[in-house]
Structure 1
């Protein structure tokens, strides 16, 4: 089926370098049978989704589910209660973000957005609930603290998901840097509650399960090294890096021997502009610091 579709579109099999799917076993098996294991890659955004979803739904943290269910119940009540929604509308009329967000089970980031907006409007929500006897119970101070720390832990994953979902630029070279920055940003979140500490622990386990071997995969190391923004900055596995550099050297030598006349030395590669919203959290703040530190080390006299 897949090979027939490629043939219909005039796509030669030797020109297909990578086929991206989610983790469904039938999808993976289909690609492997059609093109071979080396040409299959799991969708990075889907892996990020699983990392967050498996953490949030972990059976090791039943208390977290209780808190999230309470928030979901409050949001649902405020959206369906005429009295409650009118009261909240009056309380938030001078705010830029006025509407609560309902989580969707199939999208983990909707849970993140629900938490983020709930925390932003919690004072107004608390006032509305306090004057309505039919309203669900408001979160207590400890639960709000847990929710705040949960949001901080999930924020790097939301940022990574947003950054990697671009349709107008190639994202393969950013995967390794993003994976490393993701772990770095999760690790540095300061935690005060026991439940949030458990969330952090499980998140890092999920990160290791899905991304610890990222430097050894076939698709991502070479684009990363060739990207002038990253080069070798985010590599930690020296053996994997050496193998990547060897592959690049071999490919360049082969290209030079076969088509030297087509090589244009007058047009160096330029990195595309990547506009970011300064009002939002960004994983790349840490990348900028790493670049600055790298420059300082290079300028330091021997």
Structure 2
């Protein structure tokens, strides 16, 4: 107790009884031996001035009857791994380990810290890369299901081509995983043959050429050629389901971007007024002050803020229009108080912008759903695309000429890529217990009428895919199989059919 308390001198005690005073808050307790130390012990735990543990007590430990300073064991290997991890995480150069300031800091913390040079850091990084690659390779091989891939190819500002391939799969614990398998230089030419060779060599390097399910790419023409070559090459080895019918999947977010950009060409004039209005407000500090005064006059929340868009990214255009609509009355007030403000949209323009914003909101919600990384997104495709298709058809057949013109152009681009809904992603929504086959039936009825060919196509494709999975997991029967074995096989087939009915219903 006496680490936290001091005895009060007898001259300061009015009653002459021994007392102890807390060193941190100053409260006193009776310190006579007959009272014990229980009160002081309880006070130590609840003292308001004791916000952290005593540093000395944190460093000292009791051992063999004597107090000794505990020093954690220094692991050189762990220190080097942490240093390399910091270089990778923060994109530091290898010469970071040779900076005099960094070395002085490390030697201050521990005088005997080993000195590492850039070549050593490079060798350690290659070693860690090899370890991680072996670990991920084991994860891919242990995965109970198939692996889906996404790939992208682009050119840097130095005109160098790069390719990135990412694997999406369920591990042996049924946890959704995403791992980058390749991020490397892609020399020209960037045609379909070169891309297919690059991807196939990568699959063989990781040993997953027999476990691929689908490959998701954007809509470049070279990608279509590479997919066909890969499908043919993998089908020769019978590595794909249903002869690769579901192998190619187009990037949904990329298609949505093409559709919306095609439609926005019709509304550039209305959007341009909003864009120029926001540029005007953000052009100087005095204009910002005037706009804030207008928001206060209109009783609007100034914390929401205006959003400036990037013309090549339609989702930023949607966010810009949404913020502008919120401050519509502030813009009108600013037009009355500032004679230099000439770009305020008219009432007719605001009506157009509200209609446009409502339409783009459907695409924005779908893009946010498709862009998720912490949850599966295949089951979200069909409801979102159905809503977009239904909205475009409704506006294209409506009486509003402005929306009709815009939506007709968007509908043409939509049907170019999605005239038939992706069957594999329609099957994914059937496997979702919230929707099942009833939702697909309802959606196709709304779009194409009762008993449409599109709906029957989805049902037949799902049946064939289910039977292929069940046949691949069922034991094979030889010609000498007994009658009991045949009866078990027939029973298994009957169970498979019943299971298919349960899944769809």
TM-score, normalised to structure 2, is: 0.46
Matches within 5 A, 1:60-209: 61=266, 64-92=267-295, 95=301, 97-187=303-393, 193-209=400-416
Select the structure with the greater relative contact order (CA < 8 A; seq sep ≥ 6).
Answer: 1
What per-residue deviation string (whole Å, max 9, x for no partner) do you get for residues 145-166 of structure 1? 1111111111111111111111
Residue 88 of structure 1 contacts residue 124 of structure 1 at CA under 8 Å; is this kept in 2? yes
What per-residue deviation string (whole Å, max 9, x for no partner) do you get for residues 121-147 of structure 1? 011122223322332321111111111
Q: Structure 2 vs 1, CA of residues 27 and 210 (structure 1 numbering), >3 Å: closer, same or farther?
A: closer
Cα drift, residue 226 of structure 1: 1.9
Task: Determine whether 1:18 maps to 2:200.
Answer: no
Matches within 5 A, 1:265-284: none
Task: Determine whether 1:45 maps to 2:253.
Answer: yes
Residue 100 of structure 1 contacts residue 118 of structure 1 at CA under 8 Å; is this kept in 2? yes
SS across alignment from 1:17 = strand
Cα drift, residue 195 of structure 1: 1.4
Distance 1:137 1:125 in 2: 9
Residue 91 of structure 1 contacts residue 124 of structure 1 at CA under 8 Å; is this kept in 2? yes
Distance 1:21 1:180 in 2: 21
Q: Structure 2 vs 1, CA of residues 73 and 96 (structure 1 numbering), >3 Å: closer, same or farther?
A: closer
What per-residue deviation string (whole Å, max 9, x for no partner) do you get for residues 22-65 of structure 1? 112233433433345742211011111111111112xxx3xx22
Any stretches of 5+ residues in structure 1 without a counterpart?
266-297
What per-residue deviation string (whole Å, max 9, x for no partner) do you get for residues 61-92 of structure 1? 3xx22111111111111111322212223444
The one of 444, 451, 467 equivalent to 1:250 is 467
The one of 426, 431, 436 equivalent to 1:231 is 436
Residue 146 of structure 1 contacts residue 193 of structure 1 at CA under 8 Å; is this kept in 2? no
> Paired residue for 2:203?
6
TM-score, normalised to structure 1, is: 0.74
Distance 1:16 1:257 in 2: 20
Distance 1:87 1:191 in 2: 41
Point out the more displaced range, 229-238 or 190-199.
190-199
Q: Structure 2 vs 1, CA of residues 187 and 84 (structure 1 numbering), >3 Å: closer, same or farther?
A: farther
Cα drift, residue 4 of structure 1: 2.4
Point out the more displaced range, 140-149 or 84-93.
84-93
Distance 1:26 1:203 in 2: 24
Distance 1:191 1:140 in 2: 24
Q: Structure 2 vs 1, CA of residues 90 and 35 (structure 1 numbering), >3 Å: closer, same or farther?
A: farther
The one of 224, 229, 237 equivalent to 1:33 is 229
Any stretches of 5+ residues in structure 2 without a counterpart?
1-197, 233-243, 445-453, 477-487, 496-504
Q: Structure 2 vs 1, CA of residues 101 and 156 (structure 1 numbering), >3 Å: closer, same or farther?
A: same
Distance 2:433 2:472 in 1: 20
Distance 2:387 2:428 in 1: 17
Q: Structure 2 vs 1, CA of residues 105 and 31 (structure 1 numbering), >3 Å: closer, same or farther?
A: farther
SS across alignment from 1:220 = helix
SS across alignment from 1:80 = coil
What per-residue deviation string (whole Å, max 9, x for no partner) do you get for residues 151-201 of structure 1? 111111111111111101221222222211222344557977531232233
Q: Structure 2 vs 1, CA of residues 191 and 80 (structure 1 numbering), >3 Å: closer, same or farther?
A: farther
Q: Per residue, is there more helix in 1 or in 2?
A: 1
Q: Structure 2 vs 1, CA of residues 191 and 128 (structure 1 numbering), >3 Å: closer, same or farther?
A: farther
